[in-house]
Structure 1
């Protein structure tokens, strides 16, 4: 990469023109992206743009490619920091590290815990969202199935409690964006109605429900979200296949209903493409069957992300990471991920998914779940100048967030 950018003037940053291969919905080999004042003002063929003498020009090296900044909807921590227990300062530093690694937009996730701890951390994270460090909050519980709890602590699992749910929503000060729930639990239908009415996306997961229960719940969630506002939102599925019964031809389970809903465009499914939660062949199969526009790649990362193997925490649980795979020390259940979003893109491409499709599922789709598709997740004029430059091996070599190189 050759950078001939002039020094910023006293009136602000100069306009930047980045030239080279770029994923602009599809892969364009000879593209230009113009960044001005922290936003993208042009993205298209380089032949359609002539830089001015005042522009800073960045020419990508052979084999490098620009992609939109990646958007992680499901992230419990990184760099030794557990979002479920850490203070605001520590979380801020960890999120900054995630930004530098290519996840330019992060939604912070909390695992099931003591309700008092959840309420405290909701308030902490709401403050970080208000300051622009995170894009919102995801609650993974506490209204989940004990049968399919995974790494969720069964001591704190509850049937849907609307009073507690409203307290959690209020503690989030408008920043609770998604909540994982099990639709077979008593009171789940009322919970979905409460969530949708408060602008919170219901996310089906950690469930032992039947296919019929999942089908009905996802359909109802979609109807309620449509009635609540004009955004055209849809429910999501928390890490598809993980935390639910395997598909069997006489007991299809939740996963089969989730697949049908996603294929119809009525739900977006999370996939943890870290080659530990899902086999690479399954990841490629999902892209073939569902299409990139119905898949959100997520890390489900925990405190060990970005660090070496060792012992870490995930909320109230002790976790041992060996070979990059995190497992509960008590049961051996997989306990979150350790990969970065850029790793997931690279893994998906390695499985046979096109770069454009992998990037769509790591950027545009999750941005749409947040209701911010015009600002995030694509290199579109008027959107934030969040982008990555990847090398030939699809490893980030430069990361820009809001028009500034990190």
Structure 2
């Protein structure tokens, strides 16, 4: 049975439909247009939407939310994962990649094995390994004693725990075996993301040549720009082969930096991520990120041990709002960073857009860009 949504403005990811409509059949977009609804849909149910329709948000770097975090084993781990997914769904994220913080290799393999069925079912779009192949010099909120150089054996242990589940790996490519590891990830069909790295400009260039095609939270956990020692950031912004993640929360990055990076890289290369932890949508207080103690005050998460930023309590809803209203990005640029560009990074054409054949993941925004309704697979799952 076909159902139509009609709204004054619809952003499909490729077009802007004024006085537009979407046709949804069996959870997929089967048609779209502007003006009067064609006679072929005369018997379809039509819902008039008060608000702007956009594609569902795609978050490729998220550790948790609502008190639930990704990782661990058994039914409890699956329940925590579902809690995190539902928390972010309430804020417009209809596609999520589950990020794991650094752990011992056997433990990370067990987490992949546990979460793998959620990938198979389409509940999550894949698993992101943020560790253990990171630089101690830029460890951020990762346990330094668990950080190691990559080996083919350890890579196989984690990836083969549930083949096809790992879709992205953050790596410091300057580590021993790092460049070979980048090639290994790419050969296995995963995104190789440069991050938590002490890499130089030249080492970043070599990693991109080896196949790295994303950057984990640009600017954070890497060498800064210096006029005589440019570091990796300049290379990452200038090289069109690589996308760059930005955490648009006003904590990780100054709004001027968000705008500068977005303008430098251009639409199609910027990806908004939340990097959020289980404290998202929760009260301030004490939490754990992996094995590390975190204190959340005024929504800002920091390690108790040294005050370092420890993930975030951001949602994609607030990231888009902040990017537009504070950082000054054009709405279409911000929307692309939350939808079409992360979908393209995952090599998915069925998400992040509202074109014919895509999954009917629809978000309805109010004038202030807050989320009013969320449809996933054509089904209304959130109404606020």
Sort the TM-score into its range (normalised by shorter chain). over 0.9
* Structure 1 position 367 matched with structure 2 position 354: no
Distance 1:243 1:345 in 2: 23
* Structure 1 position 84 matched with structure 2 position 84: no
8 Å CA contact 1:17, 1:51 repeated in 2? no
Which string of whole-angstrom CA distances, capped at 9 and with x for unpartnered residues, describes residues 277-335 of structure 1?
11111111122121120011100010011112111111111111111111011111101
Unpaired runs of at least 5, structure 2: none
Q: State the TM-score, normalizing by the size of structure 2.
A: 0.94
Equivalent positions of 1:331-370 (< 5 A) are: 331-350=306-325, 351-370=327-346
Among residues 382, 389, 396, which one is paired with 2:357 in the alignment?
Answer: 382
8 Å CA contact 2:138, 2:221 repeated in 1? yes
* Structure 1 position 285 matched with structure 2 position 272: no
Distance 2:114 2:309 in 1: 27
Partner of 1:57 in structure 2?
46
Partner of 1:68 in structure 2?
55
Partner of 2:114 in structure 1?
124
Secondary structure at 2:93's aligned position in 1? coil
Distance 2:39 2:272 in 1: 36
Q: State the TM-score, normalizing by the size of structure 1.
A: 0.89
After alignment, is 351-360 or 379-388 more displaced? 351-360
Among residues 199, 206, 218, which one is paired with 1:209 in the alignment?
Answer: 199
What is the total number of aligned residue pairs between the two structures?
Answer: 376
Q: Give the CA deviation at 1:123.
A: 0.8
* Structure 1 position 315 matched with structure 2 position 290: yes
Partner of 1:325 in structure 2?
300
Q: Give the CA deviation at 1:346.
A: 0.8
* Structure 1 position 179 matched with structure 2 position 189: no
8 Å CA contact 2:152, 2:181 repeated in 1? yes
Q: Give the CA deviation at 1:43.
A: 2.6
Distance 2:22 2:105 in 1: 46
After alignment, is 41-50 or 142-151 more displaced? 41-50
Which string of whole-angstrom CA distances, capped at 9 and with x for unpartnered residues, describes residues 71-128 of structure 1?
0000001111121346112212321232232110000000111222211111111121
Which string of whole-angstrom CA distances, capped at 9 and with x for unpartnered residues, describes residues 249-273 of structure 1?
0111111111111xxx200101111
Which string of whole-angstrom CA distances, capped at 9 and with x for unpartnered residues, describes residues 176-231 of structure 1?
00100001111111111211111111100000111000011112216xxxxxxxxx
8 Å CA contact 2:90, 2:374 repeated in 1? yes
* Structure 1 position 18 matched with structure 2 position 2: no
Q: Give the CA deviation at 1:159.
A: 1.0
Distance 2:162 2:225 in 1: 35
Q: Give the CA RMSD over aligned residues.
A: 1.5
Secondary structure at 1:337's aligned position in 2? coil
Q: Give the CA deviation at 1:161.
A: 1.7
Which string of whole-angstrom CA distances, capped at 9 and with x for unpartnered residues, describes residues 120-144 of structure 1?
1111111211122101000001111
Partner of 2:380 in structure 1?
405
Among residues 15, 18, 23, which one is paired with 1:34 in the alignment?
Answer: 23
Q: Give the CA deviation at 1:19.
A: 2.6
Distance 2:38 2:229 in 1: 57
Q: Give the CA deviation at 1:44.
A: 3.1
* Structure 1 position 238 matched with structure 2 position 220: no
Distance 2:30 2:192 in 1: 34
8 Å CA contact 1:84, 1:314 repeated in 2? no
The 1:393/1:328 distance shift into structure 2, 3 A limit, reads same
